[in-house]
């Protein structure tokens, strides 16, 4: 299975890995499917890369982007 990347303007990659791991852990706790776990984790990691420094994920932005992705 392939999961498409999301085009982003990258400002800083600090915290991206932590974001990916934390979203993956939450998705696992919710018993989501592996493709959804990968997709949501990748999405969140990309979103935080648009900001300089280590920033918290914006819940509303993540939800909006995830809904767009799911159609």
Catalytic residues: 18
Residue 36 backbone dihedrals phi, psi, to 5 degrees = -70, -40
């Amino acid at each position: 299975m392939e999961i498409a990347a999301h085009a982003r303007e990258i400002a800083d990659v600090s915290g991206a890995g932590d974001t990916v791991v934390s979203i993956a852990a939450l998705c696992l706790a919710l018993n989501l499917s592996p493709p959804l776990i990968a997709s949501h984790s990748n999405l969140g990691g990309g979103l935080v890369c648009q900001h300089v420094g280590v920033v918290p994920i914006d819940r509303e932005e993540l939800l909006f982007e995830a809904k767009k992705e799911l159609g």
